Structure 1
Amino acid sequence: MEQPPPGITAQPTAIPVGETTATLTLQVSPSAAAGETTITVRAASGNDFRTVSLKLTVVPAGDLVVRWAAPAPADSATYTNGALPLEATIEGGAAETVEFHRDTQLLARVSAPPYTYTWDTRGMPEGAFQLVARATRGGTTFTSIARTVIVDRTPPQVSSRAPASSDAQVSARASLEATFSEPMRPASISPDNVEVLAHGNTRIETSVSLSADGTTLMITPTTPLPAPSTVLVKLGTGSQPILDLAGNVLQSTTEWQFTVPVWLPVGGALSARTGSTPAENAVLKLDADDLPVVAWSEFDGSAKNIHVARWNGATWVHLGEALSGLAGTATHAENPTLHLDASGRVLIAWQEATGVGSGENLYARRWNNTFWEDLPAFPITGTEDRYIAEPSITTTNTGNIYVYATHQFGIPRIVAFELSAGAANWTTIDVHRPLDYDTTGSATISAHGTNVFVSYDAYHAQHETRVIGVLLNHSGAMGSSIITAPQSVAAVTPSIATSAVGVPSVAWKEVHKNTGDGSIHFSSWTGSEWAEPVLLSHDSTNNTEPSLAIGDNGIPTVAWSGVANSQRSIYVSRQRAATWEPIGPPLRSMTGSGAQAHRPTFDMDRQSRPWLAWHEAGSTSTDIHIYRYNQ
């Protein structure tokens, strides 16, 4: 015991090995004061301990002891909405009468055991009352401990819900909560009378728990909620109602529903400035904690700069200030490319010029968790009649940084640069493409181990059209041209990605020569050749800007911008065995026919779930929107 009252002692006792209980015997001396007192019992194991306070009534020897049998002595308060049985027991002798009192009013007098009475509270106002039992012997009265009884006939209600009713953006991994207007009876709540239904009739298995104060019900689905779905939550059934402590039934209007979409927004629209400044050309990568880092270009009214922000789980945190390789106003930075190296450092490169047009150069920075460090200047620079643009950046497991870009000097060609770990300058790489691949276009790169894969489009003299080519380590052509029908289409704007085992795949756009319409296609490397291309854009036209990513599960996913019903949206499709399936409906953040979604970019988290970004033009501004797959 901790600081026991005078006259009350107890010798410490140990809980036997393998047991969970032991008996602590109290010794009460004649000097102990009569009446109610409180003792504190402490249990300890090593440095851990727990305490509990107990009520104790000390009576002089020879006095009667009046105890409550009903309501149960263990309850600190008793709740009722109707008839309440009362029962008292007498120890230490026989009583002549036992009286039950409510506050100062006599309820009943009983002259012989059993000393029982049923108190009908239906005529009483709601509220708390004090009950005592009094035994009389030889003109002396002996009184029990007072018991609190709360009369409550008000049905309980759900005061708040999470997710909120009609919430249209609920995570598939959300836990559900209902907060009640008063404590509820724990025994009345079980998985049998708490229903979570998808699509109105498909039951979702859950576990349920009630908070210690009885006011919050936590409902945890055993598997992720299906997406997309409308989920209905029902509390209590006709045969198994949920009750408060007095036995009042939870109101039947407590059910609620919400929506679990295929895609969830990550924060709001992303922009470096308030107002209608255009933010565009986003690129997204995930860090080691599966948190997205996004770079984009944005015009602030005097210059177009590069911005980078990281999601911290609750909000977007901008990394440093706006990035520009040139001083002054009227500069034009765009087409950022982003990569996170093995140490998690953010690498970024972009093209920039004074004004728009020729003379564009490349610039690169590295984030050191405090500020942006300049990477060395590139060895090829733009001039009045040439430019270098459309960079793509990656690193190998040796820490070397690689950048591919388009160098326009008469005829465009792809160029490549390497910055070895610890090196002070970039090295220009000789890119050996096939001789009949001329006027090369944009290139994208992906690394696995020490291998660097690059995909690009080029004019192929044999086919008299543009085709997709892939190089391994800057010189080895992988297979032949990638194109579906060279006589009728031109293949452009490829996107390349490698699987966890180092197998590359490519997605690209094909422009139909007769109609000018664009379609999106995909092919993967079989080990000796490129597989037969697969058409992905079945449900949209004017398709453009494909982006490819492959999760650790080896499943490729492609996103692109396409048009259906006069609305330009983002389409996402993934491979399932020998077929492809869309991931949810087409994506746009804004409603209305004026909104146009462009240039998707995405990455896969460690559970192979895509995180997606794009820029969307509305009637007054262009913003970056980020969504994640809701699974």
Structure 2
Amino acid sequence: MTRMRSIPALLILATAVGCSAEVTTPPAPSPEFPPPDPVVTLTSPTSTVFTRAKVKVEVAVSEGDAEKVELLAGGQVIASSSAPPYSFEWDTASVAEGPHVLWARASANGKTFTSAQPQLVVVDRTAPRMSGFSPSTNAVIAGTSAAVTLTFNEPLLASSVDASKFTVADRPAASARLSEDGHTLTLQSAEEMSTPVSLHTSSFNTGLTDLAGNPVGEIHFMSAQLVPEWTARFPLLGTSRGSEPPPAPTLVFDASNQAYIVWASKEGTGPTATRNVAVLRWDGTSWAPRGGWLNIYNVVLYSAPSLVLDSTGTPLVAFPEWDSTGNDANAWVYRWDGGKWVNLGGAINAYIGKTIVWDVALAVAGTTPIVAWAEANGTQMDLLVRQWDGTSWKALGGKVNATPGESVNSGFDAHSLSLITDRDGKPVIAWSSTTSGITEIHVARYTGSAWERLGSAVNVFVGGEARQPSLAIDKSDPLQRPYLAWVEHLPSLYADRIHAAHWTGSAWEALGEGVNEAPRDRAAHPTLALRDGWPFVAWSEPGETTSTNIQVRELDPVTKRWRAQSASLSVYPSPTYYSSHASNPWLVTDANGRLTVAFSEHDENGNGGVHIYSPK
């Protein structure tokens, strides 16, 4: 057996270790990853900005670091920062007005990174302006409150709207509402305003701004007229018009506010049809006839019966009527005796032989009736006046139209004469006459022995055709100066203007430039009434594109201009002139001073009649 030599343990261990070092490979180092790209975000503003000054802009950078952050507008760098926080203040004072697109851009590792969502900034240094309003200046609205709408050329800031900064009709606005698009501001007037009133809208400091903060300046404008709402005071008095001219009613009230009305109405059809006169009285629930028909034969076409109450409240009525031959027409006057109509003096006319009385007007001095009429004398129309002395009719002077060649215009105008009495019982009469081709209005007062003209003709325009006068007088006036209204046709303009004037004692003084300031063709039949000594006028006139309606206006005591007292009165409003036709208004004040107008209107089928309206 062979004996092995021993090997030291240390050597064995070293050898083992050395062998291990020779065969073991060290691990490879970990790879190095590039830094992440920064994400750029515009955090403010987050929506479109309207400005006229400085804009604060904030930018956030995430997911990495930026060496530099720039702010761009319209592709141009307007600011930059190399360290957070990235907050900028952009002064737009020298920037062109209009929209600008805002971006943020970050630079890192030789690259640039842009914000994903740009923001729009609108630079606006121009103050907003009011571009319109409604209702229009000439509009008339019935009611006790109204809304006024202001339109602006650009949107307004909703938070700048404050109703307390506005007045409508010189009273604080009740509310203010801005439309969704910001262009329209609606101001509501106060409720239950006293009318009529102008919707004057104003604000010395509106507080309004546009979206950029530019202030709206002072606002002052005159909008519509707010007027009382007129409604039917009495039920319709129906008539069948057919081919007849519309009836011309006369309405009066006694001291206890009992109403009486008269007009000539067509009865029947064909050759047997007649035009008759009846007086009706309101009994509290319906119109009750006072007796039957007053006429025996036909009432003269186009004429209007005249109705008055004497100082005891007794009604009297006058009208022209054809005789049995149909060749002569005379004036007739009747008085109610409590149970029937009593004729006063038989047929009234001035000329022997064939005579035609076209129009009649009636007045009273106490209990004494006075009648005026226009009568053809064979060559022209004359104006005559008589007074009842208890047994017969006595002439008051000679013919009133004493100027040679002066012919009274009558025959085709209802209420073509106007007759009143003053406080002393003296009659005052107005009429239209033509002399040498010129048609004029004249007024005369009876002095007790003769007719004295009040000034010269009251025409406004040379060559105008003045017709249809209406008189009224304030009996509390110490000088007893009458008011006058009339219509004047302007052939050159093919339009009709309603005028009014007041007798000063020596001349006629015009009241305003014209009652209907925008005259249209076919304005007609002015009727004048006084309330507390102040004049009101009603007339018929077609709208710009509508059927004929009734207008009522009052003379403004401050501006001396005529202002609306009603909206257009029409029971059958229509977009065309010939579809319906309101005409022949008769305006009065009742015993309590309440305005009331009676007028005729039929629809396109001839249905309708006499309507009576008053303010609510």
Moved more, 534-543 or 582-591: 534-543
Counterpart of 1:314 (choices 285, 297, 302) is 285
2:465 equivalent among 490, 493, 496? 490
Q: Displacement, 1:386?
A: 2.8
Residues 360-411 of structure 1 show CA distances to partners (whole Å, capped at 9, x for unaligned) of 11111111232211111144268874301210000113x2211111011221
Q: Distance in 2 between matches of 1:333 and 1:413?
A: 18
**Structure 1 match to 2:549:** 569
Equivalents in 2 of 1:540, 1:503: separation in Å? 27
| Correspondence list, 1:38-117, <5 A | none
Aligned counterpart, 1:556: 535
Gaps of 5+ in 1: 1-169, 173-198, 204-222, 230-258
| Conservation of the 8 A alpha-carbon contact between 1:455 and 1:470 | yes
Quote the residue 1:389 is aligned against: 358
Equivalent-residue separation in structure 1 for 2:394 and 2:279 (angstroms): 26
Q: Structure 1 residues 315 and 514 mapped into 2: Cα distance closer, same or farther (>3 Å)? A: same
User: What residue number does 2:248 align with?
Assistant: 281
**Equivalents in 2 of 1:228, 1:563: separation in Å?**
22
Matched, 1:581 2:581: no
Change in 2 beyond 3 A, CA 1:279/1:545: closer
Which structure dedicates a bigger proportion of its chain to strand?
A: 1
Pairwise mapping of residues 296-335 of structure 1 onto structure 2 (< 5 A)? 296-301=263-268, 302-326=273-297, 334-335=303-304
TM-score, with length taken from structure 1: 0.55
**Which structure 2 residues correspond to residues 176-215 of structure 1 after superposition, within 5 A?**
none
1:361 is the counterpart of 2:335: no
CA contact (8 A) 1:364 1:375 kept: yes
CA distance in 2, matches of 1:405, 1:224: 47
> In structure 1, what is the equivalent of residue 106 of structure 2?
none
Letter in 2 for 1:456: W
Tell me the distance in 2 between the aligned counterparts of 1:489 and 1:391: 25
8 Å Cα contact 1:521/1:535 also seen in 2: yes
| Residue 624 (structure 1) aligned to one of 577, 595, 609 | 609
Aligned-pair distance for 1:480? 1.6
Given that 2:196 and 2:564 are in contact with CA atoms closer than 8 Å, whether structure 1 keeps it comes out as no
SS of equivalent residue, structure 2 residue 295? coil
Rounded Cα–Cα distance in structure 2 between residues aligned with 1:317 and 1:580: 37
Conserved? CA contact 1:511–1:518, under 8 Å: yes
Are 2:331 and 1:347 equivalent residues in the alignment? no
CA shift in 2, pair 1:543/1:171, >3 Å? closer
Is the contact between residue 297 and residue 305 of structure 1 (CA under 8 Å) also seen in structure 2?
A: yes
Question: Which residue is equivalent to 1:480?
Answer: 456
Aligned mates of 1:508, 1:622 — CA distance in 2: 29
- How far 1:347 sits from its partner (Å)? 0.5
CA deviation string 1:29-85 (max 9, x = no partner): xxxxxxxxxxxxxxxxxxxxxxxxxxxxxxxxxxxxxxxxxxxxxxxxxxxxxxxxx
Identity of aligned residues (%): 20
Structure 2 distance, partners of 1:561, 1:629, is: 16
Paired position in structure 1 for 2:369: 401
Task: Give CA-to-partner distance per residue, 1:173-208, whole Å, 9 cap, x none.
Answer: xxxxxxxxxxxxxxxxxxxxxxxxxx99969xxxxx
Q: Displacement, 1:595?
A: 1.2
Aligned-partner Cα distance in 2 for 1:549–1:558: 6
Q: Deviations over 1:522-549 (max 9, x none)?
A: 0001122110354111245121111111
Aligned residue in 2 for 1:471:
444
Asked whether the equivalents of residues 509 and 521 of structure 1 are also in contact (C-alpha less than 8 Å), the reply is yes
Distance, in Å, in 2 between the alignment partners of 1:622 and 1:307 is 20
Distance verdict in 2 for CA 1:363–1:307, change over 3 Å: same
Residue 73 of structure 1 corresponds to none
**CA deviation vs aligned residue, 1:498-519 (integer Å, no higher than 9, x gap):** 1132320110111113344221
- Are residue 444 (structure 1) and residue 418 (structure 2) matched? yes
Stretch deviating more after TM superposition (311-320 or 340-349): 311-320
Deviation larger for 344-353 or 444-453: 444-453
SS in 2 for 1:531: strand
Residue identity in the other structure for 1:310 = R
Distance 1:270 1:540, change over 3 A: farther
Alpha-carbon distance change, 202 to 296 in structure 1, aligned in 2, over 3 angstroms: farther
- What is the letter of the counterpart of residue 559 of structure 1? A
Evaluate the alpha carbon distance shift between residue 384 and residue 599 of structure 1 in structure 2; reply closer, same or farther with a 3 A threshold: farther
Maintained 8 Å contact 1:549/1:603: yes
User: Within 2, Cα distance between the matches of 1:539 and 1:554?
Assistant: 26
Residue 566 and residue 332 in structure 1: after superposition, are their counterparts in 2 closer, same or farther (change >3 A)?
A: closer
**1:394–1:445: 8 Å Cα contact kept in structure 2?**
yes
What is the rounded CA distance, in whole Å, between the counterparts of 2:299 and 2:403 in structure 1? 40
Partner of 2:580: 595
Is 1:528 the counterpart of 2:506? The answer is yes
Aligned alpha-carbon RMSD (Å): 3.5
What's 1:208 paired with?
A: none
Letter in 1 for 2:391: A
CA distance in 1, matches of 2:372, 2:599: 22
Q: Is the 8 A contact 1:413 1:440 kept in 2?
A: yes
Q: Distance in 2 between matches of 1:403 and 1:360?
A: 15
One-letter amino acid of the counterpart of residue 579, structure 1: R
CA distance 1:353–1:383, change in 2 (3 Å): farther
Residues 1:310 and 1:476: Cα distance change in structure 2 (over 3 Å)? same
Paired residues of 1:472 and 1:478 also in contact (CA < 8 A):
yes
**AA of the residue aligned to 1:387:** I
Alpha-carbon distance in structure 2 between the residues aligned to 1:517 and 1:333: 22
Is the Cα contact below 8 Å between 2:546 and 2:573 reproduced in 1? no
Task: Determine the C-alpha separation between the residues in 1 that align with 2:604 and 2:433.
Answer: 36
Partner of 2:304, secondary structure, is strand
Equivalenced residue count is 379
Partner of 1:338 in structure 2? 307
Residue 440 (structure 1) shift: 1.9
Tell me: CA distance 1:382–1:348, structure 2 relative to 1, closer, same or farther (3 Å). farther
Contact 1:277-1:621 within 8 A present in 2 as well: no
Q: Look up the SS of the partner of 2:238 in the other structure.
A: coil
Q: Is the 8 Å Cα contact of residues 559 and 601 (structure 1) preserved in structure 2?
A: yes
Q: 1:274 to 1:600 in 2, by over 3 A?
A: closer
Q: Which runs of 5+ in 2 are unaligned?
A: 1-141, 145-170, 176-190, 198-225, 410-415
The one-letter amino acid of 2:443's match is V
Larger Rg computed on CA atoms: 2
Contact 1:404–1:417 at 8 Å: present in 2 too? yes
Q: 1:412 — aligned with what?
A: 381
Matched residue, 2:394? 427
Higher relative contact order (CA 8 A, sep 6+): 2
SS of 2:599 mapped into structure 1: strand
Q: TM-score, normalised by structure 2?
A: 0.56
Letter in 2 for 1:308: V
Alpha-carbon distance, 1:604 to partner: 1.1
User: For the Cα contact (< 8 Å) 1:330–1:354, is it kept in 2?
Assistant: no
In the TM superposition, what is the alpha-carbon distance from 1:591 to its structure 2 partner?
3.0
